Amino acid sequence: MGKCFVVCWDGAVTVVDELLAEWELVPDGEPTSVVPVRTPGGQPAVLKIGAAEHEHLALQHWHGQGAVRLLRADPHRSAVLLERVHPEGLVDHWDVEACEIVGDLYGRLHVTAPPQLPRLSDEVVRRTGRLAGAPLPRRLVEQAVALGRAFATDDGTDGRLLHTDLHYGHVLPGDRQPWLAIAPEPLSGDPHFEVAPLLWHRWDELAGDVRRGVRARFHAVIDAAGLDEDRARDWVVLRCVVRAAQEPGWVTRCIAIAKSVQE
């Protein structure tokens, strides 16, 4: 196979070679972030190493509705075998149109979550507990902490299967359905939590008028998905403050988004 093309950790190539043999897969193209293969029956597929911990559970639960089909999984080796989809995602689509497409996809993805998944309410408690003293505008930090406390005890915070990182590069065209989600990092949570990645990705495109661009995306996705505007806004603010506190390189972007959705 030649090089570490899927994930850069010792033994990745060995794992790929082992699974090719064990699952009787035939390489079928140049590897990129995944390995194109053919199954024993000749079906085009991709082998992915380094899957998120619960990725296989989410894909199994979706049964191919709105997401790529899971053909086989080995959670102990962080490996999944997936149906092959086309590489041209939503990155080249007009961003507002792309947000509408993703918002429409939410309806198929946000089904009742399997009980094995971590709960969003627990994540909220853990992450907001680290915000004290964050080098961010005090008003935003206080707002995020208050939102976190409210969401942590809100009955609507848990229960639905969330992707959590559904942005333009994680929605690809398929043959069975026009658009399919890939690479979930799933939680049991609130669908309104999903919006933020569509606002902070493709950031350079918003340089001319950040406020207008952020708000156009925000309203496009919540309208397409039928989400509650206030609840979606609160989750965007909370996610942006948490991310800014964790990743200094994202401070300017996240503060701009949090302010834009509230103006």
The strand ranges marked E within 105-178 are 160-162, 171-173
Select which of 158, 165, 190, 234 is catalytic: 165
Phi, psi of 194 (to 5 degrees): -75, -15
Task: Please identify which residue in the block is written with the tokens 């406020």.
Answer: 211
- Quote the DSSP letter at residue 37: E
Q: Are 155 and 190 in contact (CB under 8 A)?
A: no
- Quote the DSSP letter at residue 3: S
Nearest to 72 by CA among 83, 64, 62: 83
Q: Are 200 and 254 in contact (CB under 8 A)?
A: yes
- From the centroid of its chain, how far is CA 157? 17
**97 vs 100: CA distance, rounded Å:** 5
Q: Are 117 and 188 in contact (CB under 8 A)?
A: yes
**161 vs 111: CA distance, rounded Å:** 6
Nearest to 170 by CA among 100, 218, 98: 98
**170 vs 160: CA distance, rounded Å:** 19
Q: Would residue 204 show up in a list of annotated catalytic residues for this protein?
A: no
Any idea which residues carry the catalytic annotation?
165
